[in-house]
Amino acid sequence: MKAIISPYTRDFDWCEEIFPELSLCSLPVAGRAIAVHLLDLCSLLGTSDLLILDYCLDFALQSMLRERTDRWPVHFNYTGAKPAASVTQLLQRNQAFAANDDLLIVHGPVLPLPRQPQELLTQTEPCDDDAPDGIFLRRDGKLLRYTGPQQRIASTADYFDLNFTLLADSACYNLPGYSAENGVHTGMNVAIKQDCVISPPVILADNICLERDCTLANGVIIGANAIIDHHTSLDHAIVLGNTYVGQDMEIRDKIVVGQRIIDPHSGVYVDQSDMGVSADMHLVRHVSPTRLGEVTLLALLALTFLLPYLLLWPFRPLLSHRAWWRKLSLDRYPDIWRALLHHGHLVRRQPDSDIPFVFCASELYSVHATPAQQLLDDSYFRHHLSLHLMLRIVLHGSLRRLLANDCLE
């Protein structure tokens, strides 16, 4: 049996407006892209070949699927295509793929919710060939429509409700996370600080940091690479991946993605950049006090390390194969001057930038942080930029290096 997934028929303007960087295929539902849920389902049905047609081709999803082809025992192809007005038109356009094989068709923004995958093949009835959208089975040349439970996604309200439908009862789908205990699904590299209160059901994807005193209640879904700052309450809410939620926030019945907060029931959204919120409003000759203090700290460090650097430089090969050179942080001295002379930073803001820097935010907590943890720590630092935090990172980073037992090579 083969399968075709084509989520675009009509009523997708809401997705383009609310989630401009996502397609209907890549839209995450309960922590996984819709296309991934359907791939899992087709694998369970023993599908041999799968064609995923996406009107708004998502290159991030395409790259992820290519890298993880070994996860599914089905040959699949994700490609762009125009929406088809009916199942007949969809079949005509893809006749070379469909041939005369039995064919499962998911046409339109709909997700089946069977208790068992085989229900898709048994709970059917004959239908018109011009049916606009739905879930269909072509068997022995006849077109059948799936009549079991399913949910159409034609608005943000539908999308919001579908997330919590799967969170409460995943039916035949897999929820993300390598650990699931008492209704809390946890991914890799999840840091939960002290005094957090988590009431299931909850999904915490990979690389998430919950700062202290966070509260998650009445169903919460948090995507990968997200930070929830301290004293923040999430109540029946969805936070999509790569999102920072600020401190002392109360998010209830909302979707948060990047700088956008969405009311799913009305479809109204607010971009935080449109609210007039700005940091460092008191300027001194167009230079913020924090930046002025950062440059001052760089200059002080350049002067402080100058004499030890010059005195110990001739003996550098003798300092235990340079281990003590690093323990004393003298290897940072050239970086200090690079940051000072080339408008760099004392503490790195983001790892993929070419701007010079001296310290990493992760050094506040560990000498050897993983790349994923560094991303979270860098994001936290950007949102809490202050001279006090810079000083803490400099002092803790230097002390941790000095007291480390290994050679740090």
**pLDDT given for residue 320 in this prediction:** 60
**pLDDT given for residue 281 in this prediction:** 27
**pLDDT given for residue 274 in this prediction:** 43
pLDDT by position in tens, the chain (length 409): 999 999 998 768 888 889 988 999 999 999 999 999 999 999 999 999 999 999 988 888 998 898 888 889 999 999 999 999 889 899 999 999 999 899 999 999 999 999 999 999 999 999 877 777 899 999 988 999 999 999 999 999 999 999 999 999 988 898 888 788 889 999 998 999 999 999 999 999 999 999 999 999 999 999 998 999 999 999 999 999 988 898 888 999 999 998 889 999 998 988 875 432 222 223 334 446 788 888 999 999 999 988 888 888 888 777 766 788 888 888 899 999 989 888 889 999 877 778 899 999 999 888 888 887 888 888 888 878 888 999 999 999 999 888 877 544 4
Strands 250-252 and 28-29, by their bridges, are unpaired
Quick check: bond before 201 cis, omega within 30? yes
Token representation of residue 58: 């998502």
Sort 247 into a burial class: Cβ within 10 Å, 0-12 / 13-18 / 19+: middle
d(CA 383, CA 380): 5
Distance set, CA 38 to CA 44, 82, 104, 148, 242 (Å): 10, 20, 11, 16, 23
What length does the chain have?
Answer: 409
pTM: 0.76
Domains and CATH numbers, the chain: 2-156 (3.90.550.10), 180-275 (2.160.10.10), 289-403 (no CATH)
d(CA 211, CA 213): 7
Q: CB neighbours of 401 closer than 8 A, spacing ≥ 6?
A: 326, 327, 329, 363, 367, 408
| 286-314 as b/e: b if 16+ CB within 10 A | eeeeebebbbebbeebbeebeeebeeeee
**pLDDT given for residue 355 in this prediction:** 87
d(CA 354, CA 375): 15
CB 200 within 8 A of CB 216: no
**pLDDT given for residue 372 in this prediction:** 77
d(CA 288, CA 283): 5
